[in-house]
Structure 1
Amino acid sequence: MHRVRAALRGAERLALDTAPLLQRAGISPLLLHDDGARVTPSQFARLVRVLYTATEDEFLGLAPRPSRLGTFAMMCYASIGCAELGGALRRGVRFYGLFPQGPDLDVETVDGTVRYTVHNHFPDDPDHFLSECLVVIWHRLSSWLVGRRIPLLWTEFAYEPPAHHAEYEAMFGCLPRFGAPVTRAAIDARWLRAPVVQDEASLEVLLRRSPTDLLSRRTWDTTVAEQVRHALVRALREGVRLPELGTVAARLAVSPATLRRRLRAEGTSFQSLKDAVRRDIALASLASGHEPIAQLALRLGFSEDTAFHRAFRRWTGTTPGAFRHEGPATATFGWETGRMGDWPERAGTMPEIERFRHTGLC
């Protein structure tokens, strides 16, 4: 209940009636006076959304100046185009640095750790709610970007322990330190090289559910196969040839042998995933009808046109030219014939083709 009262502080400062706001979030106003009362994560997330709208401020009226609705979304769109987490974090910090009296954030690497610091002291936020939210959302957004839960090494806060200090370990997943010079948190610096595996489609889902997913301690663990697939797709999006297993393993901070073993445990292999990505993008490109077949073969890493034609016939039962001129009705897809072996998913359905068509890959 302390955090509910803290979240309402800005609305109260703006002279808004908080009782109907609480009711819209499914929270009884009578609970405000019960220090032992609790609300569910979904109720609290709804309250934050209600407060966004009521205050017209993503900082809930707790900062010297409001952050207009949509600012966080644009920061995410700016950051998601980066290849690695380090670039995404730096771009997010630069984005918020454009706004006067906005959050004064900093990301620096010290002694093998990445330290994310909130330098602001918000005078209208005596509960330090906004500062803590900035740390929470940065950390969980980082985990979402790379599709893996990033453990915090430590957190420290620029104030003395509050009455509810026992909750901080559950909230941040590590023991907190109070009375520090600034509020900040640290992760292992190796995470800076982790590939960003999300795209605009998955970001739109996150934003539709924001802040629920960022406040509910989601882990965003993805399978190793999904991480490999994202790395391969991103390489093609950036106009470079598909990386080999050793390169992808290095980006995922594992050895090639470990990557092979983990993919085998998930019922697939690096070559199968590579073929799946090649096939999906080939189908999407041929369906769009613009890219020359020889150029497509080269972009997909085939040494010659005949090798691409053999692979495409193996995947679909038809040739690239026939597929382009007559459409998918000519194809016999791998999941129908059983030729796909250990592919982890059904690739190449028409919805899948449409998904790749809108990624800018073709």
Structure 2
Amino acid sequence: MVSRPAHAVRVPYGLDTRLLDELHRNSLQAPGQDGLAEQLSADSFVALYRQAIEQLEEKVAQGEGQPPMRKYEVDLMCRCLLSCGTLGEAIHCAAEFCAMLHPRAGKLSLELHGQSATFHMDSLRQRRSSAACLVDLTGLFCYLQLFAWLIGQTLRPSNVFLAHPERKDAMPFLGLFDAPVSVGKATYGFSFGAELLARQVVRKPAELAVFLVDFPFRLIGAPPNVVSATQQVRSFLDAALAHELELPALGSIAEALGTSEPTLRRRLAAEGSSYQQLRRLCLCESAQRCLRDSDWTIGRVAGHLGFSSEAAFRRAFVSWTGHAPSHFRIKGD
């Protein structure tokens, strides 16, 4: 059975308010939220996420003139994928299943380049909107979770890309992918090691019902191989950076996830990661993004990332990249 923390947990800052803001922007009813409490239970967040996406999906589908893909169809696709022998076969099966529902299920495809495989999800949107971005982002994360679950191991993308042009509309969910994210691409998708395509599908039909209960909305307290510890920790760090808050300590994140700090540290180590590595990676990627995509001064970037001084930021940036911030901005590395 899935372990679910019964006590209140701290949702990564901004995940809940992002959903509620989008509902208000589209004149939709917030699901039983008169005002957000400081903490939500894991189950309350799942309910909020599910109801928000379902309402936004209906709204977006109306604008497209097509009904959305229904939950029973998603469940049926998952059941079909269990009959496949390998992950590669499962991805091709998912593409064929969605083709039968064209165009409302979007278009899936798989591209191979040497040792890298790239999964593409074209939502076939006629219109781009912040609501559509959240719906499509959830869909992409759905496939990432599903593929990882099928082979019984965390699937770590080397990079993620979104068709939506505005990065801010996807915040603060991007940390859940545990990979660099680029926007404004032709499709949504992610790349990963092509060797994973040969991994056997290890799940059995009897396991499907439990997996589908909160799929794909359980971002907090999710079981391993569905949302990794690395993804969960990174979501807290990226959310804090997006809102210019102090980065949470590992102990605080562990408490929010309903586990102990030593257990979370061991889970990260088993995934080849650590809190310090993730903290450094999130700060480095955020710094590079600010330098590349904004006209902020070096001092403002340093303050945004929580550094006590511009000099401290410069030293850290050199240690991360081997270059000064000004060099990075000039070269556009």
Q: When the two structures are superposed, what TM-score results if normalisation uses the length of structure 2?
A: 0.53
CA gap 1:181/1:4 in 2 versus in 1, 3 angstroms: same
Q: Give the aligned residue type for 2:216.
A: P
Q: Is the 8 A contact 1:114 1:189 kept in 2?
A: yes
Alignment of 1:93-172 (within 5 A): 93-102=95-104, 103-122=106-125, 123=127, 125-127=129-131, 128-163=133-168, 167=172, 170-172=175-177
What per-residue deviation string (whole Å, max 9, x for no partner) do you get for residues 35-94 of structure 1? xx7856533321244457x75x9x444333222330110000111111111111111111
Q: Give the aligned residue type for 1:82.
A: C
Counterparts of 1:78 and 1:135, CA distance in 2: 19
Q: Give the aligned residue type for 2:130.
A: P
Alignment of 1:74-93 (within 5 A): 74-93=76-95
CA gap 1:2/1:93 in 2 versus in 1, 3 angstroms: farther
Structure 1 residue 129 displacement after superposition? 0.9
Counterparts of 1:83 and 1:189, CA distance in 2: 16
The aligned counterpart of 1:46 is 47
Counterparts of 1:43 and 1:198, CA distance in 2: 28
Counterparts of 1:129 and 1:83, CA distance in 2: 32
Structure 1 residue 216 displacement after superposition? 5.8
Q: Is the 8 A contact 2:87 2:200 kept in 1?
A: yes
Alignment of 1:11-90 (within 5 A): 18-19=29-30, 21=31, 23=32, 28-31=33-36, 41-50=42-51, 59-63=57-61, 64=64, 65-90=67-92
Q: Give the aligned residue type for 1:197.
A: V
Q: Is the 8 A contact 2:115 2:194 kept in 1?
A: yes
Q: Indicate the SS of the match to 1:108.
A: strand
Counterparts of 1:51 and 1:170, CA distance in 2: 20
Structure 1 residue 205 displacement after superposition? 1.1
The aligned counterpart of 1:322 is none
Matched, 1:208 2:250: no
Q: Is the 8 A contact 2:20 2:52 kept in 1?
A: no
CA gap 1:90/1:215 in 2 versus in 1, 3 angstroms: farther
Structure 1 residue 2 displacement after superposition? 5.0
CA RMSD of aligned residues (A): 3.2
Structure 1 residue 29 displacement after superposition? 3.2
Percent of aligned pairs sharing the same letter: 18
Structure 1 residue 154 displacement after superposition? 0.4
CA gap 1:211/1:2 in 2 versus in 1, 3 angstroms: same
Q: Give the aligned residue type for 2:75.
A: A
Counterparts of 1:3 and 1:50, CA distance in 2: 13
What per-residue deviation string (whole Å, max 9, x for no partner) do you get for residues 115-167 of structure 1? 11122353374341122112111111111111111111101223444337674
Q: Give the aligned residue type for 1:5.
A: L
CA gap 1:215/1:189 in 2 versus in 1, 3 angstroms: farther
Structure 1 residue 113 displacement after superposition? 1.7
Q: Indicate the SS of the match to 1:62.
A: helix
Q: Indicate the SS of the match to 1:118.
A: strand
The aligned counterpart of 1:199 is 204
Counterparts of 2:220 and 2:74, CA distance in 1: 15
Q: Is the 8 A contact 1:206 1:213 kept in 2?
A: no
Structure 1 residue 213 displacement after superposition? 4.3
Q: Is the 8 A contact 1:109 1:115 kept in 2?
A: yes
The aligned counterpart of 1:3 is 18
The aligned counterpart of 2:287 is none
List alignment gaps of at least 5 residues for structure 2.
Answer: 1-15, 227-333
Q: Is the 8 A contact 1:45 1:211 kept in 2?
A: no
Counterparts of 1:8 and 1:147, CA distance in 2: 35
Q: Indicate the SS of the match to 1:136.
A: helix
Q: Indicate the SS of the match to 1:171.
A: helix
Matched, 1:187 2:192: yes
Q: Is the 8 A contact 1:115 1:186 kept in 2?
A: yes
Counterparts of 1:62 and 1:215, CA distance in 2: 26
How many residues are aligned here? Answer: 204
Counterparts of 1:50 and 1:97, CA distance in 2: 26
Q: Indicate the SS of the match to 1:29.
A: coil
Q: Which moved more, 1:165-174 or 1:129-138?
A: 165-174
Counterparts of 2:42 and 2:60, CA distance in 1: 21
Q: When the two structures are superposed, what TM-score results if normalisation uses the length of structure 1?
A: 0.49
Q: Give the aligned residue type for 1:146.
A: I
Structure 1 residue 214 displacement after superposition? 6.7
Structure 1 residue 95 displacement after superposition? 0.6
Counterparts of 1:199 and 1:62, CA distance in 2: 34
- Larger RCO, structures 1/2 (Cα 8 Å, 6+ apart): 2
Counterparts of 2:134 and 2:171, CA distance in 1: 16
